Structure 1
Amino acid sequence: MSRTASGRAWLAELPALIAEFRDRWSLRLGPPIHGGSCSWVAPAALPDGGSAVLKLTWPHREAAGEAAGLRTWGGNGAVHLLAADERRHALLVERCVPGTELGEDGRHSPDARLAAAAELLNGLWSAPPPAAGLEQLAAVTREWATLVEQRMARLRPDYDPGLVAIGVDLLRTLPRSATREVVVHGDFNPGNVLASERRPWLAIDPKPMVGDPGYDPWPLLTQLDEPFEHDDPAPVLAHRYALVADAVGEDPRRLLAWSVARTVESALWFAAMGEVADGAEEMAQAAALAELAGL
C-alpha cells in the first residue's frame, strides 16, 4: 500500500479517520490487530458494553462490495455488519471471540475443518444476490484472462504456455457454464474463517461478487494444512476436493477447474510483482490440479 501515491495519502489520513469513526460510533478502541495489508483493524467496545471490530480500508476495487456482501448475508455464515460508511470505506462488524483462524485450529482434523467451512459456504451461497452493489464474477475473470495473456507476453516467464492457455480459457468459460449464481465470498482462505461465540466459525474480510459458487473453495482447499507439502499430494487433494464438493453440492472437477484457473492467474500476478520463482511454485500447483481434473 505504501508503494503507491494513493496508499501513502490514505496512510497520512488514517489517524484522522480513526478519530472520526471512534467518535461517530462512540467506540472505545483497543490496540490494532495486525496482519492486514490494505486496512486498519481494531477491537472496539460499544456504548452498550458489547464488542465489535472497526475496519478502515484503503479504497480499492476489491473492497468496494464488502458492506453490500455482509448486508446480504445478514450474519448467515459471516460476521454481522453493525454499521458502515461505504463512501469512507469504514465498517463496524461483529467481533469473533476467541478469533482462532481455521488454519491454526489444532482441535479438529483437516476433514472436520473443511466440513465446517463448507457449511459456512452453503450459508453464504443461500442468500439471493442483491440487485446492485456487487460486481459480476464473469466480468472480473474476463479481465483477469486478458491480463494473464498480457503479462505472459510482456514478461515471458518460463512458465508452461499450454497450462497458462488452459487457465486463461477457464477464466473466460467457467462462469458461462455455471448452473447457479450466488454471492461468493471471494477470498475464502483459512485465515478468513474465525472461531466465534455465536457460531463455531464465521467468515470475515470478503471480496464479494455475484457468480459461480465453484469460484470460492480454491484457497480453502489448497491452503488448509498445506496439502502440497505432503509427499504425495494427489490423493490428499482428491479426497479433500471430493469431500467439499459433496458438502456444497458441486462437481469436484468443476472445483478443480476453478482452482487451475485461479492458480494460473495467481502465478502471473506473482510474476508481475517481480516474484517469478513464487509464480513458478504456483504453476507447479496448477499442473498438479490440472492433472487431477483431467485437463
Structure 2
Amino acid sequence: MPSVLPLDPPQRLVRALHGHPDADEAAAAAKWLEKLPGLLETLLERWELTDERLVSPGGRTSLVVLVRRADGTPAALKLTAPGTSAAREAEALACWDGRGAVRLVRAAPEDGALLLERLHGEVSLRSLPEAKAMLEASSALRRLWVPPADGHGFEQVAERTAAEAEMMRTHTPGEARPLVDEALELRDGLLAGTPRQVLLHGDFRQGAVLSASAERSPWLAVGPDPLVGEPAYDLARLVRDRLHDLMASAGAPAATRRRMHRLADALELDRERLRGWALFRAVRSGVRHVWRGDRQDGEALLEFAGWL
C-alpha cells in the first residue's frame, strides 16, 4: 500500500552520498535520492507492506524502513544506494540462510531492494562491554565463514584490493607515502599465499551485528559487502573497532596489538596475516577519508595503521 511516511532521508545518508568526490557518482546518488519516495511506494504496494517508521540515523549507503507484511509479520525494507550491490548482498544472505546473519525474505536487486527479517536495530554489539562484544563478534563471524557455492558471483579479495590499491596510489597524502608503500607491499605478499577461501562479510564490525531473537540466535550480522577470500581479511576490520575510544586510552598502540593477537588466537588465524590485512585496510580507509575531505578521521586511521 502507499507509504504514509513523510520520506525525509536521514542526514547521515544524504551527507555521505553528496560528499562523494567523484562528480558522476555524486550525481547518480542525488538522482537516486530524488526517486526514493516513488520507489518506496512502488515496493510497498508490490510486496503488500505497511510502513511503520524510518530507521534513523541509519547508514551511509542505504535507507531502511520498518514495515509489516500482509500477515502482520514485522520486517525491514532496505533500499540500497548506487555503488552498492543488492544482488551480491542478497546472494550472500541466501547462502548463509539465517546462520549468523539476518534472514533474507525477498529481493528485487534491479531496484536495489531487500526485504529482511526485523532485528533489534537499536541494539548492536557496541552496546556491550568491550571484552564481551569481541567474544560475541568472534562467534558470529566464525559462523559466516562458509565455502562459497559453485558458480558464485562474488568478487575475490585480490580483485577488490586491486581497485583499492590504485585509489591509494592516486590519492595518497604526501606525508602518508611511506605507510601506503608498506601497505601495498604487504598486500602483494599476502596475495602470494594460498590460505583457505571462504565467503566473507566484507564490512564486519561490532555495529554490523544486531540483537535478534534468543530462540534462533542472540546476535546476527547485517549489511554485508560480500566477497571471497581468507578469513584474516574479514577479521581485520574488527581490529580497529571503537577506534576513537581506543585512541583516547593510555597505551593505545600496545592495546591494539594485544587486541589483534587475542582475535587471531581466538579464531585460530595467523597473527602476521591478520596484522598485514589490518594495516592495509586501515591505510586504505584512511586515504579514502582524506580524499573525501574527512581529514580528521582519515588521519586517525593512518595513525592507527602506524601502530601495527
TM-score by length of 2: 0.85
Matched, 1:72 2:98: no
Matched, 1:211 2:229: yes
User: Are 1:31 and 1:43, in contact at CA under 8 Å, matched by a contact in 2?
Assistant: yes
The Cα shift of 1:257 comes to 1.2
Note the aligned Cα RMSD (angstroms).
Answer: 1.9
Unmatched runs of 5 consecutive residues or more in structure 1 = 290-295
**For residue 7 of structure 2, what is the aligned residue in structure 1?**
none
Higher alpha-carbon deviation: 94-103 or 113-122: 94-103
Distance 1:288 1:21 in 2: 47
Matched, 1:8 2:30: yes
User: Are 1:222 and 1:228, in contact at CA under 8 Å, matched by a contact in 2?
Assistant: no
Q: Against the structure 1 CA distance between its residues 89 and 201, is the aligned structure 2 distance closer, same or farther, given a 3 Å change threshold? A: same
**For residue 192 of structure 1, what is the aligned residue in structure 2?**
208
The Cα shift of 1:247 comes to 2.4
1:87-98 residue pairs with structure 2 within 5 A? 87-97=110-120
**For residue 28 of structure 1, what is the aligned residue in structure 2?**
50
Question: Which of 139, 158, 165 is equivalent to 2:181?
Answer: 165
The Cα shift of 1:170 comes to 2.3
Letter in 1 for 2:130: P
Distance 1:7 1:88 in 2: 14
**For residue 138 of structure 1, what is the aligned residue in structure 2?**
158
The Cα shift of 1:175 comes to 3.2
Q: Secondary structure at the match of 2:175?
A: coil
**For residue 41 of structure 2, what is the aligned residue in structure 1?**
19
User: Are 1:138 and 1:176, in contact at CA under 8 Å, matched by a contact in 2?
Assistant: no
**For residue 136 of structure 2, what is the aligned residue in structure 1?**
116
Letter in 2 for 1:74: D
User: Are 1:144 and 1:171, in contact at CA under 8 Å, matched by a contact in 2?
Assistant: no
**For residue 264 of structure 1, what is the aligned residue in structure 2?**
283
The Cα shift of 1:238 comes to 2.9
Unmatched runs of 5 consecutive residues or more in structure 2 = 1-16, 20-25
User: Are 1:157 and 1:271, in contact at CA under 8 Å, matched by a contact in 2?
Assistant: no
Higher alpha-carbon deviation: 249-258 or 56-65: 56-65
Matched, 1:248 2:258: no
Residues 229-251 of structure 1 deviation map (CA, whole Å, 9 limit, x = unaligned): 21102342233222221222211
Residues 11-43 of structure 1 deviation map (CA, whole Å, 9 limit, x = unaligned): 111111111111111111111102212211011
Residues 171-192 of structure 1 deviation map (CA, whole Å, 9 limit, x = unaligned): 3332332411111111112211
Residues 85-135 of structure 1 deviation map (CA, whole Å, 9 limit, x = unaligned): 111110001111364011123xxx322221111111111002434522211
Distance 1:224 1:36 in 2: 17
Higher alpha-carbon deviation: 195-204 or 62-71: 62-71
Distance 1:98 1:136 in 2: 30
Distance 1:167 1:151 in 2: 14
User: Are 1:182 and 1:210, in contact at CA under 8 Å, matched by a contact in 2?
Assistant: yes
Of structures 1 and 2, the one scoring higher in RCO (CA 8 A, sep 6+) is 1
Distance 1:124 1:64 in 2: 18
The Cα shift of 1:54 comes to 0.3
Determine what percentage of the aligned residue pairs are the same residue: 33
Residues 211-235 of structure 1 deviation map (CA, whole Å, 9 limit, x = unaligned): 1211112332212473232110234
How many residue pairs get aligned? The number is 282
Residues 181-206 of structure 1 deviation map (CA, whole Å, 9 limit, x = unaligned): 11111111221111111311110011
Higher alpha-carbon deviation: 1-10 or 21-30: 1-10
**For residue 297 of structure 2, what is the aligned residue in structure 1?**
278
Letter in 1 for 2:64: V
Q: Against the structure 1 CA distance between its residues 130 and 117, is the aligned structure 2 distance closer, same or farther, given a 3 Å change threshold? A: farther
Higher alpha-carbon deviation: 95-104 or 262-271: 95-104
Question: Which of 195, 201, 204 is equivalent to 2:219?
Answer: 201
Letter in 2 for 1:70: L
Question: Which of 183, 191, 206 is equivalent to 1:175?
Answer: 191
User: Are 1:187 and 1:205, in contact at CA under 8 Å, matched by a contact in 2?
Assistant: yes
